[in-house]
Chain A
């Protein structure tokens, strides 16, 4: 089974260690809190997959730290990247709109 690595139990994303095709099952390394996840779409090598449902404007957590905010609802198993995440520090103006 293909693998992804989660760096903290608080993270809502994991990093896949090889390219994953739509429908493939992925085993989580790094924590036993999350079982396997099925990829809802292709995830490129080294990219992030949602390990739980994330609502729009919710924070993306990796390394047990916030790395950005969701700009759309993201379902478990979806690819988490620039198409659905913005930098909270350098892309979001006061009021929550993109710079």
Chain B
């Protein structure tokens, strides 16, 4: 299968969903935004707690992430909900979204108060949902797919099965000229020598080194703390430790396989949109799952492949999140949350490639409109990585 049925956007990109997005510019307008969205099924909300009292790179990162979230191909139209006095400009957000050919409107709470702002917002969003429902899915090339690769709640099984299976999907998609994003900078520490080998560009290597160093410096400040009376490493979670992971290097070596063997064509800042060139992009994000996924979705990921050992309910407001585990106990205990069980390869019941083919088929079905378990359960996570002190 060389195509999937997606929603073609005016900039030539293709979404796998056709959402109307209610986007608060700032924490102060998030409650109103959530109420508007909850009144109109068919809309989604990207509720977050950034947008003001931020400076420099921290502010730029929030602004970039909000803009690029709205520009994700899964979004058909946007209502920006502003307060009125915040640092992120709601009117500027609307203008940029419109300049990219996407319908967008803005309402400001300070113009009306909560009740009227919600009423006006609902009126706008219901019209948008009706309008975008006229857009039909069309056959588009697999090269339009952008996958975000994530792992969370990792354990011993992640590096043995789920991450290698996801790596197979990365390799399959790369053959079809698609794009893949690998994030979680922290979880590349200790595996960087294997990634450097796949970079041709010297400046790319330098940017990657700088990204890694920031995480290493933070880790060294506070290497261990007592959790549940045990002295555990801080840069991996207590659940990782219980699940058999001992050091960050061990976790990273298991995690980086999610990018398969795809040549690395770019190193991106958090929430920065990937280029048109097919291949693997590394994005600077924390290992904190929802923030990492949000960065990749802002970067253009339309489907997220999320491996988990211990299990997690994580989904995303903008993109379907497919949950994959290699831990048979987790697949059983958390069947509500797990979309794909690849523990078969640990026990020699299936080959890595067989499991990878099955997962690729599932990715295509999800791209064509089948819902993930996180979508069915309304798991609409969204969180922007905050890198400064708020004033």
Contacts and interface: CB of A to CB of B under 8 A. Distances in A.
Interface of A: 5, 7, 15, 17, 29, 44-48, 60, 62-63, 65-68, 80-82, 85-91, 93, 98-99
A90 B246 contact: no
Contact of A91 (B156, B233, B242, B250): B233
Contacts of B233: 82, 87, 90-91
Contacts of A63: 159, 253-254
Given A63-B254, A90-B223, A93-B220, A48 B246 contact: yes
Given A89-B248, A90-B189, 7 more contacts: A17-B346, A60-B246, A67-B247, A89-B189, A90-B223, A90-B233, A90-B235
B199 to A, nearest CB: 18
B216 A67 contact: no
A8 to B, nearest CB: 11
17 contacts: A44-B244, A46-B156, A47-B156, A60-B247, A62-B253, A63-B159, A65-B190, A65-B191, A65-B194, A65-B249, A81-B244, A82-B231, A87-B233, A87-B249, A89-B249, A91-B219, A91-B247
Q: For the side of the interface on B, what is the size category?
A: 35 or more
B246 A82 contact: yes
A83 to B, nearest CB: 9
Contacts of A81: 241, 244, 246
B160 to A, nearest CB: 7
Given A62-B250, A82-B232, A99 B220 contact: yes
A90 B219 contact: yes
Nearest to A90: B219
A95 B231 CA distance: 22
Interface in B224-246: 224, 230-233, 235, 241-244, 246
A8 B242 CA distance: 23
**Top 7 nearest A-B pairs by Cβ distance?**
A46-B156, A46-B244, A90-B219, A67-B250, A87-B247, A68-B247, A47-B244
B157 interface: yes
B184 interface: no
Contact of B346 (A5, A90, A91, A93): A5
A59 B244 CA distance: 18
B248 A87 contact: yes
A95 B39 CA distance: 61
Contacts of A91: 219-220, 223-224, 233, 247
B249 A99 contact: no
A67 B253 contact: yes
A15 B244 contact: yes
